[in-house]
Structure 1
Amino acid sequence: MNRSAYFTTDLAIKVLSKILKARTVFHGLSNLPGGPTIFVINHFTRIETLLLPYYLYHLTETPIWSLADANLFKGGLKSYFDLVGVVSTKDPQRDALVIKTLLTGKAHWIIFPEGKMVKTKKLVRKGSYLVGDDSAARSPHTGAASLALRAEIYRRSLAGEGVENEGEIAALRTFLDLSDTDRLIEKEVQIVPINLTYYPIRSDDNIFSELVSRHVKDPSERMLEELMTEGTMLLDGVDIDIHFGQPLEVADELKTPAVAEMLQNLIAAEFYTQPEIMEMLRAAAQRMMQLYMERIYSLTAVNHDHLFASFLRRRSFSLFSKKDLARSVFVLSEYLQNDKSLEKNLHLALKESQIHLLTDDRYDKLQNFIDLGLKAGGLVQHQEHLKKLTEYWQKPLLLHKARLDNLIEVMANEVEPLDGLQKYIQWIARIPDWLLRIRVSHHLYIQEQARYKAERFDCEEHARLAGNFGRPFLLSHLSRKTGIVFVHSYLSVPEEIKKCAQFLRNQGAWVYGVRLPG
């Protein structure tokens, strides 16, 4: 790696990050270890391949190297990769370089276990993580786990564990191309799962795609799709939530009696020639892969689009109101905010009251999603109602078209690994719209009664209050044709408007007497 090129790139990204409209929030920084680390990260855009090394370098104060697909090492891009520490997955010295730089502390590594960009976000099939479409689905790669296990075995052997003489250590240093001046890290090797979640995700023509269309002859479908999606995200503004998960302690996999016994007194440089040991390590790598995949995707930052998309996917093809969709998300948000196991997953915008979804949609969360559905063809307008378009929901998800043509499906796919969230969604989605309206009304009424009771209790510490003059009230009627919201003046109380409200109720109206705080 050329350090001058590395820091020049670092400076360029720093300038670029100030120009582009990307807002980054870090979570779980306490999970960053101090020892040799392989970061395993979900791969949805090209953005993470540029920004993550920059962010991680400043967080760890250690150069960050990464592996990239061999097909990218062409022309000027290959020269650039060679300068900044990007190594081809087909480099014959790949494994040795990863292990050596980990053990000497010269670099941490980024590895994408999916092995490619997962643009469809479809990873969970029948409870397992699989990459690719149904006809060519495969398991995520175990390479990160295998490299971490080998590095930890070498680290222990170089530290003298299980080695009887200095000759074996010298042979191992030669095998790993370690010089006499290379000092080794004493801390154990760890794997840290990282999840990046982007919000909002939109695809549209932008200055990047227009420039390429004008000046590049026959640009590929893949190139235009990536520029339209990722360019729009960066130019229009995107929140990037970066969650650091609980590290995997690689040493724990080597503490099993069978593995420990086999490694004892074995020359570490030759352990890969022992079939039994390699079989055990392959099994360990498979277990670790499943674990870090679970941890990566359990850290997804849940946002409004995820919830709208998940409920819309489950709706029938009959007419519905956009308020029906809003009520579903409102009810779900109330549960999520009180669920300790999912609270950490919420995007900042979901951690506050979602009452705006039911009133004026002042942040345009609902309307922006509806506009996306109408533009993409997933929804059609029928006067005041909406309807899912059958053709849209029956289209297959294609790798280089999903983010353009089926973005709502991509959003719903992203939160499929969150089992707790899916249980809530499935339960609420089964509730008929008319019943959900009643549940929401009842919830808001009970919530307002509880707020009054709590505030009254606080006031009674300072003054004696007679009666319940300030309590909000609901007067029902058999007829459902008319509903009235009755608001008292600022210096009055609900009790003072109750007689008038009762008169209106007797005329056939439902009347709700609002309590203004104060």
Structure 2
Amino acid sequence: MNRFAYYMSGYAFKAFSGFSKTRVTLHGEENIPRGSIIYTANHFTRIETVFLPYHIHGITKKPVWSLAAAELFQGALKGTLEAMGAVSTKDPRRDFLIVKGLLSGRAECIIFPEGLMVKNKKILVDEGFRIYQDGEFQRPHTGAATIALRTEFYRERLRRAREKNLDEFNRLVEIYEIDSPDTVLDNETFIMPVNITYYPVRAKENMLSRIAQNMIDNPSRRMMDELMTEGTMVFSGVDVDIRFGRAISVRDIFSNGFVESDVTSRRRVEFSPRLSSNHVMRSGALDLMNQYMSQVYGMTTLNYDHIFASILKYLPDDGKIIDGYEFRCRAFLATQACNMSLHCHFHKSLYDNQVHILIDDRFSRYEDFMRVAYETGVVSIQGDQFNKNQAKFTTHSEFHTARVENPVSVIANEVEPLVSLQAYFKELAVKSGHEILELIREQLLAKHQSEFEADFMKSESDEIIRDKRCGAPLLLRGNKDTPAVLLLHDYLSSPGEMKPLATHLNDKGFTVYVPRLKGHGTSVEDLAGVSFEQWLESAEEALVVVRHLRSRFAVGGVGMGGSMAIYLQARSLDPFAFFAVSPPFSIKDFSTSFTASSGVWWQQMMKKAGTPSEKKVEDGNGSVNSPGGYDKNPVAGMKQVEKFLDQTEPFVKKIKAPGLIIQCRNNPVVDVQGSEKIFKRLGSDIKEFYLFDIKQHGLPPLGSQGSARMFGAICQFLMGVLSLSHKKNHDGREY
């Protein structure tokens, strides 16, 4: 290897990666041992032969060789590949060169045991590993294991020869160009399994494919497959997870008598002789191959595309239309595999809260997958429903064009070796829609209760709210033929403070759920460490709960909870109506006495002098309806309120559903004008504004004249919207 050329090519790749949109994440680098390392990786693209050596070199600081297909060693590409440390698969000295580099410690090696790019990712795990290509199955190669055993064989032979056969020792040192025999003998040979997973895998027109079409007459389908797939990865962006497994030692086989006899033989042993231990070596190589391939396929990084494709494949092929929301519900449950003992690795996005897939798909995970499925004929879409073409999963696509013509099947194939995960996908696919909805509802209810219990227990050493029951989520079940209501409490408040209104609505037949927004209902110190995104996640999960309790539901809230109800109404088209009591439009709508208590304005003035702790807690106007709320206001909490309101403001005008805004003329916390701004900007055809002549923020005390009037107004509004909707269903007119 030309070391100067190798390092210069590394700089070239670094420059190339500067404009490439690939995002590489390395996992398990700490597993790489000291010694002679052969990396065995799955093979899906040609670019792996370039970027994998580059990233491994960044870890070990050693040159890394890789085997590349012989047909690539032509023209200018031949010199580039050789400079990068690539060795042709048909080089007659291939194995010797690799063993020499490994044994001397000058280089490490990457071998792709599959022997080809597995473009369809079709791997069978029964009776060992088998790769499907054009109607035939073939086993992965044992070459990596054979080279590892050969390297360790000559290391052990050096060890014995130094003691009993100095001529042979010197001969081997010269042949393998060993500078430091002691270092060689102190090392060991390992096989390091590596998995490479791409997300998302998309094949689209790109700069490379367009250049090829302009410069080449009738480029082959195989060429276009590779240019469209790999060009899209490079120029449009893809997450690449490179995962290093557990290093496999090859030393155990050398305790065998046949192998020991060859290792200690007094005769000269050339590189490729027929040895009496060949049968043992072959058997050992096969065993090692199964070990490293098991790790390679077992380390696949699960992502949303895998989940969607697998569940779609396993859904019963009964010709029935598939509901899009139910399909997303199955996918949502599949994402919970992160919390199960399924021995899988997960894409970084799956460690976040996944409720967004059931609300608005704001990261376009579902939309993007369905677009690919539709464009490649896997599904036919009708609104939020679709039919699937099962033949796309049962008929094998042409090997070299599968990534373009049938990518959904390719994606599903990739996780087939994850047996326990496949069983879970099959289980989810065959459950009825009712079972799926019920399962999610009960999981979320249990999660909300357990999170409250855990947070409450964790806060026992702090000043906690005086009544534990006030902080717990509240569910009141009503009549089956009456809608549900999601009720959201205010900032610094708790579910217990919403109980009077919840009970009133429940008495009218409504099923009511009052969740606990994260950080509330325990201690004010907890609230100081929570973001508004976590409040939203609590509210969005609760929205899913009420949707799975009743087919029709409304959302409502008090103070910031009212603003959050407006936000949910805008992000989800499902609620039939919403109401908000004393909702602020922006942080400026809060009274100065309330915001000053949190030090918000003081903190802004002191930024240049130094940032105070955001967990600072100030006395002040907390929840006016204690004991369920906090009587202190953390600085960080008000900053999160401000961020949330800034994000909510643009959505107000997009709302079309019927809405009710309630305010109190002498509200001591939120300015009436802020709530009026919300009302004026609503895009709803049906909207009402009630102004009560009382000094109150939030819900009036139970039993007061104000509470009876306010609760009655909310019930009357909801019933009125329902009656209009009922009339529309009968005469078809819009209201």
Specify the code of the residue in structure 1 equivalent to 2:427. W
Report the Cα distance in structure 2 between the residues aligned to 1:104 and 1:459, rounded to whole angstroms.
59
Matches within 5 A, 1:270-419: 273-274=273-274, 276-317=276-317, 318-339=320-341, 341-342=343-344, 345-419=345-419
Deviation at 1:153, TM superposition (A): 0.9
> Per-residue CA shift, 1:484-503, capped at 9, x if unaligned?
21234445543444344344
Q: Any conservation in 2 of the 1:153–1:268 contact (CA below 8 Å)?
A: no
Deviation at 1:436, TM superposition (A): 1.0
> Per-residue CA shift, 1:304-345, capped at 9, x if unaligned?
111111111111242222222222222232242343833xx1
Specify the code of the residue in structure 1 equivalent to 2:339. Q
The DSSP-based 3-state class of the residue aligned with 1:468 is helix
Report the Cα distance in structure 1 between the residues aligned to 2:470 and 2:110, rounded to whole angstroms.
64
Q: Any conservation in 1 of the 2:160–2:264 contact (CA below 8 Å)?
A: no
- Greater shift in the superposed pair: 59-68 or 287-296: 59-68
The DSSP-based 3-state class of the residue aligned with 1:132 is strand
Report the Cα distance in structure 2 between the residues aligned to 1:179 and 1:455, rounded to whole angstroms.
63
The DSSP-based 3-state class of the residue aligned with 2:38 is strand
Specify the code of the residue in structure 2 equivalent to 1:320. I
Is the alpha carbon distance of 1:17 and 1:458 closer, same or farther for their aligned partners in structure 2, counting shifts above 3 Å?
Answer: same
Specify the code of the residue in structure 2 equivalent to 1:337. N
Is the alpha carbon distance of 1:488 and 1:413 closer, same or farther for their aligned partners in structure 2, counting shifts above 3 Å?
Answer: same
- Greater shift in the superposed pair: 35-44 or 366-375: 366-375
The structure whose Rg is larger is 2
Report the Cα distance in structure 2 between the residues aligned to 1:192 and 1:84, rounded to whole angstroms.
20
2:504 aligned with 1:476, yes or no?
no
Is the alpha carbon distance of 1:266 and 1:329 closer, same or farther for their aligned partners in structure 2, counting shifts above 3 Å?
Answer: farther
Report the Cα distance in structure 2 between the residues aligned to 1:134 and 1:400, rounded to whole angstroms.
9
Specify the code of the residue in structure 1 equivalent to 2:77. L
- Greater shift in the superposed pair: 402-411 or 370-379: 370-379
Q: TM-score, normalised by structure 2?
A: 0.66
Show the counterpart of 1:428: 428
Matches within 5 A, 1:43-442: 43-133=43-133, 135-160=135-160, 164-173=164-173, 177-178=175-176, 185-186=184-185, 187-261=187-261, 263-265=263-265, 267=267, 269=269, 273-274=273-274, 276-317=276-317, 318-339=320-341, 341-342=343-344, 345-442=345-442
Deviation at 1:477, TM superposition (A): 3.4
Is the alpha carbon distance of 1:103 and 1:471 closer, same or farther for their aligned partners in structure 2, counting shifts above 3 Å?
Answer: closer
Is the alpha carbon distance of 1:483 and 1:257 closer, same or farther for their aligned partners in structure 2, counting shifts above 3 Å?
Answer: farther
Matches within 5 A, 1:467-506: 468-480=469-481, 482-490=483-491, 492-506=493-507
Deviation at 1:11, TM superposition (A): 1.2
The DSSP-based 3-state class of the residue aligned with 1:333 is helix
Report the Cα distance in structure 2 between the residues aligned to 1:124 and 1:268, rounded to whole angstroms.
43
- Greater shift in the superposed pair: 307-316 or 458-467: 458-467
Deviation at 1:235, TM superposition (A): 1.3
Q: Percent identity?
A: 35
Is the alpha carbon distance of 1:421 and 1:514 closer, same or farther for their aligned partners in structure 2, counting shifts above 3 Å?
Answer: same
CA-atom RMSD in angstroms: 2.4
Show the counterpart of 2:517: 516
Count of aligned pairs: 514
Q: TM-score, normalised by structure 1?
A: 0.92
Specify the code of the residue in structure 1 equivalent to 2:155. R
Report the Cα distance in structure 2 between the residues aligned to 1:380 and 1:508, rounded to whole angstroms.
40
Report the Cα distance in structure 2 between the residues aligned to 1:67 and 1:309, rounded to whole angstroms.
32
Report the Cα distance in structure 2 between the residues aligned to 1:4 and 1:392, rounded to whole angstroms.
49
Deviation at 1:290, TM superposition (A): 0.7
Specify the code of the residue in structure 2 equivalent to 1:483. A
- Greater shift in the superposed pair: 413-422 or 265-274: 265-274
Is the alpha carbon distance of 1:12 and 1:417 closer, same or farther for their aligned partners in structure 2, counting shifts above 3 Å?
Answer: same
The DSSP-based 3-state class of the residue aligned with 1:191 is strand
Is the alpha carbon distance of 1:464 and 1:223 closer, same or farther for their aligned partners in structure 2, counting shifts above 3 Å?
Answer: closer
Specify the code of the residue in structure 1 equivalent to 2:326. D
Where does the alignment leave 5 or more consecutive residues of structure 2 unmatched? 521-735
The DSSP-based 3-state class of the residue aligned with 2:65 is strand
Deviation at 1:381, TM superposition (A): 1.3
> Per-residue CA shift, 1:383-409, capped at 9, x if unaligned?
331221245344422212111121111
- Greater shift in the superposed pair: 69-78 or 495-504: 495-504
Deviation at 1:296, TM superposition (A): 1.1
The DSSP-based 3-state class of the residue aligned with 1:197 is strand
The DSSP-based 3-state class of the residue aligned with 1:339 is coil
Report the Cα distance in structure 2 between the residues aligned to 1:391 and 1:179, rounded to whole angstroms.
57
> Per-residue CA shift, 1:165-201, capped at 9, x if unaligned?
2223244456xx3458675623111111111111111
Deviation at 1:129, TM superposition (A): 1.1
Q: Any conservation in 1 of the 2:487–2:515 contact (CA below 8 Å)?
A: yes
Q: Any conservation in 1 of the 2:65–2:107 contact (CA below 8 Å)?
A: yes
Deviation at 1:506, TM superposition (A): 4.4
Specify the code of the residue in structure 2 equivalent to 1:504. L
The DSSP-based 3-state class of the residue aligned with 1:159 is helix
Specify the code of the residue in structure 2 equivalent to 1:7. Y
Show the counterpart of 2:558: none
Report the Cα distance in structure 2 between the residues aligned to 1:227 and 1:132, rounded to whole angstroms.
22
